[in-house]
Structure formats: C-alpha cells, structure tokens
Structure 1
C-alpha cells in the first residue's frame, strides 16, 4: 500500500475547477503542500471519471501523493488509482476491500456514533469525519457535527481520520485539537485564483499549529 498522509486532503470539484482544470488544480495544490487528492464528480459517470483519473495519475506520477477515487470502484480499478473512498450509502467497505485487494487505500465516511461503532478496522485504512459545518459543495450532506462531534467520533473510531465539511485555513488548529490527522478541503483550494498559494497557506497553518501543540506538550511535561 502506498503510504498516505491525511494532513491536507484535497477533494476535487469539477464545478469549482472551471478556472483551472482538475489536473491543473491538483498539481498546483500538490506544489503548495496538498498530501492526498480525491477525484469526486457525481455527474461524470464512470467513463468521465476514468478519463480525468488517468490524466491525474500521469500528472501526479512521482509526487508520492496518492489519488483516491470517490465512490466509483469500477473507475478506481480502471484508473489504477491508489484507493477508494466510500460513503455510508455506497458499497460496503468489506466488498470494496475484496475487489481492490490489500494494497489499496480504503477510506470511509462516518457522521454518527452508530456508524463509528460499526467500522471494521481490519478493512478500512482511514475515516472521513463530518460534515463539521454545512457546505454548499455537498448539499445532500448529513447534519453538521461541529468540532465536539469530530473529537467524539475520532476518539471512538480509533483510525487515522480527516475532518471534512466547510473547512478553511483558519480551522486547522481546532481540527488538530479535536484529534483528527488533517482536514479535507474543497472550495478552500478549488476555484481559488491561485490554488498553489491557497494550499501553501493551509500547509503553513498545519506546520505552525503542530509546532505550537508540540511546544505546549513539552512545557506541560
């Protein structure tokens, strides 16, 4: 399995990426510090995802940044993507693991204690927790859980976790303090005039927040 870092998780949105293509946005974000990229497009269909996904795989070769496909396992297989992210209304994670094998990354969305209790840690590699805030990029999302909900669910599930849902660079510290490994962003990078600079600002906030937390932990000893 390709190593993965959830610190700055970019979710590509085709509508927001009209100024810069999804490939251009992904590469600019990676140059700015994005650590993982998810291809999400609910309207493209499998063939459309495969076309964009193959372009992304070629462009991202050598960056050591994994490409994750949202929901569509057939597209993930055809692309040769590094992994798949599934929601509660998609195929079961165990089925995804059977199809993909042990060497692919599998992520799972969780938004409640009930769902967190059922996560199979032998199958799932990381969880996406949210939505933290309501967000227009996913209008059918479940109710927002806030940072208290993030802290509760990240503690319950006991897996690497990434927070998602309306997050911006100013939310880095509360995300880390809530126990998540990183934050997933859409509009904070996609559609920005300079996706590289937008990613770099978040990446710098992550470095600064972690340094402050480490300094605080050292002083507390």
Structure 2
C-alpha cells in the first residue's frame, strides 16, 4: 500500500461505460491524480465483472494505485485485486476478511450513525460514508449525511472515512474541509470531457492535504 493517503481521490467506475472507454478513462484519471480505483458492475454478470476488473488491473499496473472491487469477494480474489468494498447487504465484513486474508484492503459503506458506530470494531480498513448528497447514480438512499453529518462522522470515527455521493467541483472544497480522509467520485470524473484535467482540478480544489 502507498505510504501517503491512498483514499484521497477515489474513483468509482460507471458500469454503463464499455471496457475500452473505461480503460482510457482510468488511465487519464490516474495521470490527473486519482489515488484509488473501485470497479463496479451491478448487473450480476460475474464473467463481465472479471473481464472489466482484469482490464483495469492492467491499466493500473506499476502506478501504485490500488484496485478495489465493489461487492464481490470472489471477483476480487479471482483477479488478485488490492481490495474489496462491501455494502451493508453484502457478505459480512468478518467473513470477507477471513476469505481475503489480512493484507487486502477492506472497505464498508455506512449509511447512518448506528452503522458507523458498529463498524468501528469490524476488521475493515476504511468506511465509505454514503451518501453525502442525493445523486442520480444512487436512487435508494436511506440517509443524506450532508456537511454537518460528515463533520460529526470524521470527529467520531477511529477508521479512515471516504465521502461519496453527489460530490463535484462545486462542493468538493467544503467536503475536503471536514478533514475526511478521502473523497469518492463517479460522474465528476467518469462523465468529464477530459478526465485527466477533471481529476487534476479536483485535486487542486481539495488543497494540499493528504
């Protein structure tokens, strides 16, 4: 794992984009300053997921940027990814940790204060604080943390936190100012006309922390 903060600018891929587009996008985004990449595939096609993950792994080779797999421990193990990110309805974190071993990165999404508290004792490396703001990519939001909720979470959590949900150029400075360890984005980079420039601008807006 990198010695500096690997969570700082965390790219989550858009599962609607084809592999070629995705590989070009990730390559540009890491040049722009993305520090971690999570591959998502929500359509349940494991073969397609493995193919996408393996292609992104090649793009990331030698960059020092960790590859995280969303939801699927089996896919993460199959492609020898750097880690896996679980949601609340996925495999329990303790079981996932037993399967992936002590070295892989394990992340978990938390959607409210109770989940945040309970997660503190789990064998995870970081928590995804979801969702900060409402977003078109996530329609089943239980809770919007907002800036106040995120600030409180940062002050109470012993684990590194990654903010996700509705974050863009307009509000990233406010998010960074909470002291959160990382900021995860989908649309702000995936749908940018120039992903490298978009990532570089986001890094700039976040300031020198990290």
- Short-chain TM bin: over 0.9
| Cα drift, residue 53 of structure 1 | 0.6
Alignment of 1:82-121 (within 5 A): 82-121=82-121
Q: Distance in 1 between matches of 2:90 and 2:15?
A: 21
Residue of structure 1 equivalent to 2:36: 36
| Cα drift, residue 90 of structure 1 | 0.8
Residue of structure 2 equivalent to 1:215: none
1:150 and 2:150 correspond = yes
Q: Distance in 1 between matches of 2:44 and 2:29?
A: 22
Q: Distance in 2 between matches of 1:20 and 1:171?
A: 30
Q: Distance in 2 between matches of 1:50 and 1:80?
A: 10
| Cα drift, residue 47 of structure 1 | 1.1
Counterpart secondary structure, 1:99: helix
Counterpart secondary structure, 2:134: coil
Counterpart secondary structure, 1:38: strand
1:129 and 2:129 correspond = yes
Residue of structure 1 equivalent to 2:81: 81
CA contact (8 A) 2:93 2:122 kept: no
| Cα drift, residue 122 of structure 1 | 5.5
| Cα drift, residue 45 of structure 1 | 1.9
Counterpart secondary structure, 1:188: helix
Q: Distance in 2 between matches of 1:48 and 1:141?
A: 26
Q: Distance in 2 between matches of 1:104 and 1:59?
A: 19
Residue of structure 1 equivalent to 2:55: 55
Residue of structure 2 equivalent to 1:200: 200
Residue of structure 2 equivalent to 1:22: 22
Cα deviation 1:174-199 (Å, max 9, x = unaligned): 22222311210000000211111111
Q: Distance in 1 between matches of 2:126 and 2:9?
A: 14
| Cα drift, residue 121 of structure 1 | 4.2
Counterpart secondary structure, 1:183: strand
Counterpart secondary structure, 1:166: coil
Residue of structure 1 equivalent to 2:13: 12
Q: Distance in 1 between matches of 2:40 and 2:150?
A: 22
CA contact (8 A) 1:77 1:100 kept: yes
TM-score by length of 1: 0.88
RMSD across aligned positions (CA): 1.9
Q: Distance in 2 between matches of 1:122 and 1:130?
A: 18
| Cα drift, residue 157 of structure 1 | 2.1
CA contact (8 A) 1:175 1:182 kept: no
Query: Structure 2, unaligned stretches of length 5 or more?
Result: none
TM-score by length of 2: 0.92
Residue of structure 2 equivalent to 1:180: 180
Query: Structure 1, unaligned stretches of length 5 or more?
Result: 212-221
Q: Distance in 1 between matches of 2:120 and 2:162?
A: 17
Q: Which has more helix, going by share of residues? A: 1
Counterpart secondary structure, 1:169: coil
